[in-house]
């Protein structure tokens, strides 16, 4: 038996030693962890560049803030200066306007940084479809701010029309410019949503038929958003915003249908 066992050992039929344990697999999470770290580093870099662009634009806005205050105050037709009640109100009003100007001036860089961050995660076809819409986002934002400035005199006139001998307006600069900046940003951002709808259609998430079926729900949502998002309490701003949003919705349906979706 000993000789036979020896022969089997030599012939390799029976291993002479216990098999060595398999090598430990490489940590599956190492590559994903590194990718996540790189992804977060890239996000931090894009945010830093965007904030720097806003800061530089805000510096320009702060320099021209006195002229901007005169320009934005004109629709009120008060014939007297605005007042402020807090010691630091004048500074913070200038700063708030400067930041809004900074966002507007930095919009091309903000859109570019957003595109550079999300484009690596898209397929080549998705990048090709989305690329033309990035510059249009800037154009749409400027159009929204322009519409807000156009309706500003009408909204102000409506609200001031309720003054009387017993109700005289004493409008503070902080309240008025808070109203103006909110109005501008709301209209500027609302103008971007057709681009979002078109891009969602491009990747197959929605289509024109689905948007047409959702009109009733969308109209209700637009009415609620317009009433909540616009400041001041006047009916003109939410009405114009709601009509603008609905027209953009129908415009989006046409664009998506022309794109074959």
Q: Specify the pLDDT at position 14.
A: 44
Q: Spell out a b/e string for 223-241, using b for 16 or more CB atoms within 10 Å of the CB, else e.
A: eebbeebbbbebebbbbbb
Instruction: Look up tokens 């609905």; give the residue.
Output: 246
Q: Is the dihedral of CA 101, 104, 107, 110 positive or negative?
A: positive
Residue with tokens 């005199």: 153
Residue 205 in tokens: 């998430």
pTM for the full model? 0.69
Chain position carrying tokens 């009916």: 235
- Give the tokens for residue 239: 């009405």
Q: Summarize pLDDT for 158-197 with one digit per residue, the tens.
A: 888 888 888 877 888 888 888 888 888 888 888 888 877 8
pLDDT tens profile 64-88:
999 998 888 887 777 778 888 888 8
Closest residue by Cα to residue 182 from 219, 132, 233: 233
| Residue 120 DSSP label | G
- Return the percentage of the chain with pLDDT > 70, whole number: 82
pLDDT bin (cut points 50, 70, 90) of residue 123 is confident
Reported as a single tens digit per residue, the pLDDT across 24-48 is 444 444 444 446 677 788 888 889 9
CA distances, 85 to each of 30, 170, 173 (Å): 58, 11, 9
Beta strand ranges found along the chain (DSSP E):
none
């Amino acid at each position: 038996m000993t000789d036979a066992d020896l022969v089997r050992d030599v012939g390799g039929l029976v291993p002479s030693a216990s098999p060595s344990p398999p090598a430990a697999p490489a940590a599956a999470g190492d590559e994903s962890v590194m990718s996540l770290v790189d992804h977060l580093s890239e996000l931090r870099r894009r945010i830093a560049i965007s904030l720097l662009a806003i800061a530089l634009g805000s510096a320009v806005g702060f320099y021209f803030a006195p002229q901007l205050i005169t320009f934005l105050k004109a629709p009120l037709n008060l014939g007297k200066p605005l007042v402020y009640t807090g010691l630091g109100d004048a500074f913070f009003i200038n700063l708030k306007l400067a930041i809004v100007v900074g966002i507007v001036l930095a919009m091309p860089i903000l859109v570019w940084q957003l595109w550079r961050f999300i484009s690596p995660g898209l397929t080549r076809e998705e990048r090709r479809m989305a690329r033309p819409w990035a510059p249009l986002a800037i154009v749409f934002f400027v159009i929204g701010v322009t519409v807000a400035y156009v309706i500003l005199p009408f909204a102000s006139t409506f609200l001031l029309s309720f003054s009387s001998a017993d109700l005289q307006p004493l409008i503070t600069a902080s309240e008025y410019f808070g109203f103006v900046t909110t109005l501008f940003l709301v209209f500027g951002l609302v103008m971007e949503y057709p681009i979002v709808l078109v891009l969602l259609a491009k990747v197959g998430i929605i289509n024109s038929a689905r948007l047409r079926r959702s009109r009733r729900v969308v109209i209700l949502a637009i009415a609620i958003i317009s009433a909540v998002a616009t400041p001041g309490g006047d009916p003109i701003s939410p009405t114009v915003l709601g009509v603008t949003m609905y027209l953009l919705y129908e415009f989006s349906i046409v664009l998506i249908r022309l794109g074959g979706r």
